Amino acid sequence: MTEKLLEIDDLSVDYETARGDLKALRNITFDVNKSEIVGIVGESGCGKSTLISAILRLIAPNTRFRSGEVRFKGEDLLTASERKIRDLRGDDISIVFQDPMQTHNPVISIGQQMVDIQHRSKANKAEKRATAAKMLGAVGIPDPEARLSQFPHEFSGGMRQRIAIAMALMSEPDLLIADEPTTALDATLEVQIIERLKDLQRDFGCAILFISHHLGVIAELCDRVVVMYAGAVVESGTVREIFHHPKHPYTRRLIECDPGHIKERARVLPTIPGEVPDLANLPTGCIFRDRCDQAFERCAEVPPLTRLSDGQNAACWLNHAEEPA
């Protein structure tokens, strides 16, 4: 039995807004095992970012946790003290954020920022700088010693993202959360970063929660995948199962629409017709019903996320066809 590192259990999160509560996450459930790479995939606005900010409680003031638990090594983070959460941040759990251009403090040198985040270490300043330089070298920044004294704007976007990864891995975390780390970069850089992440994961042995809307990257990097749609998990399972035998119509459409999967050159990239439902005013029944070409009467009821085969779960009535209604 593999050891569970992070367990998201029935998590529901709302944003209080002037228009009423925005139901950003509803009954999210999935696990991340030790040293495992789990991908979360979904269109923008599906709640991926809310999910990661909820894990580390880096939340906007109008965020409300309605139900569920986020357990890290068995302890619920949602009810943990502020102190306890802060001890985890950047130590046991690290994050690489989406936009590398905005992620570092613009007026503090990279070296200083990398020394500052080692605030738990007892090492002296010179040792911390040496550690920082070593990490920069590990993510492939040439001449790391000299570049420590430079400022963020003196690095390219790809370099900044590698620096962000170096910073996140410096404390040798058990869990690395990567929030679309390659979205802001071009394709060549994307491949580089992914390769780098893979190598580093092998060396450091940390688990990675990798968020992306890019299926190709997920397939390349991850062991398991969680597919999210409009604030809910619609399907989860191993990369192999999900990509070869998707059990939810949304996953199927997502794969069909992925540019990497289109064999023939098409004039227009296929997209899923229809719009993501308004989270402040959710429709009844299955959330994908309005955009689903296989919808039938039973979809008026919300389908539960059901375990189908070993490791694969889906929330769709199509998989319940043989059972009596």
- Shortest reach from residue 113's CB to other proteins, in Å: 8
Contact indicator for 26, 67 with CB cutoff of 8 Å: no
- Shortest reach from residue 93's CB to other proteins, in Å: 9
- Shortest reach from residue 153's CB to other proteins, in Å: 5
- Shortest reach from residue 222's CB to other proteins, in Å: 22
- Shortest reach from residue 224's CB to other proteins, in Å: 24
Instruction: Kindly tell me which of 17 and 67 has the beta carbon lying closer to other proteins.
Output: 17
- Shortest reach from residue 95's CB to other proteins, in Å: 5
- Shortest reach from residue 112's CB to other proteins, in Å: 10
Supply 288's token pair: 């994908």
Instruction: Kindly tell me which of 37 and 95 has the beta carbon lying closer to other proteins.
Output: 95
Give the integer Cα–Cα distance in Å for 244 and 251.
Answer: 11
The alpha carbon dihedral of 258, 263, 265, 271 has a sign of negative
Instruction: Kindly tell me which of 56 and 200 has the beta carbon lying closer to other proteins.
Output: 56
The alpha carbon dihedral of 239, 33, 305, 259 has a sign of negative
Residue 38, classed as helix, strand or coil, is: strand
The alpha carbon dihedral of 268, 271, 274, 277 has a sign of negative
Q: Which residues contact 284 (CB under 8 A, 6 or more apart)?
A: 300, 302
Instruction: Kindly tell me which of 172 and 301 has the beta carbon lying closer to other proteins.
Output: 172
- Shortest reach from residue 98's CB to other proteins, in Å: 8
Strand partners, 232: 229
- Shortest reach from residue 259's CB to other proteins, in Å: 28
Instruction: Kindly tell me which of 107 and 269 has the beta carbon lying closer to other proteins.
Output: 107
Instruction: Kindly tell me which of 12 and 94 has the beta carbon lying closer to other proteins.
Output: 94
Contact indicator for 213, 42 with CB cutoff of 8 Å: yes
Instruction: Kindly tell me which of 119 and 265 has the beta carbon lying closer to other proteins.
Output: 119
Give the integer Cα–Cα distance in Å for 220 and 226.
Answer: 15
Closest CA to 213 of 30, 21, 49: 49
Q: Which residues bind other proteins (CB under 8 A)?
A: 56, 58, 86-91, 94-95, 97, 99, 102-109, 116-117, 119-120, 151, 153-154, 164, 167
Q: Which residues contact 74 (CB under 8 A, 6 or more apart)?
A: none
Instruction: Kindly tell me which of 150 and 271 has the beta carbon lying closer to other proteins.
Output: 150
Give the integer Cα–Cα distance in Å for 33 and 66.
Answer: 25
CA neighbours within 13 Å on the CB side: how many for 27?
Answer: 8
Give the integer Cα–Cα distance in Å for 264 and 37.
Answer: 31
Instruction: Kindly tell me which of 155 and 288 has the beta carbon lying closer to other proteins.
Output: 155
Go through 229-245 and write b for each residue having 16 or more CB atoms within 10 A of its CB, e for each that does not. bbbbbbbbbbbebbbee
Residue 5 phi, psi dihedral angles, 5° rounding: -100, -50
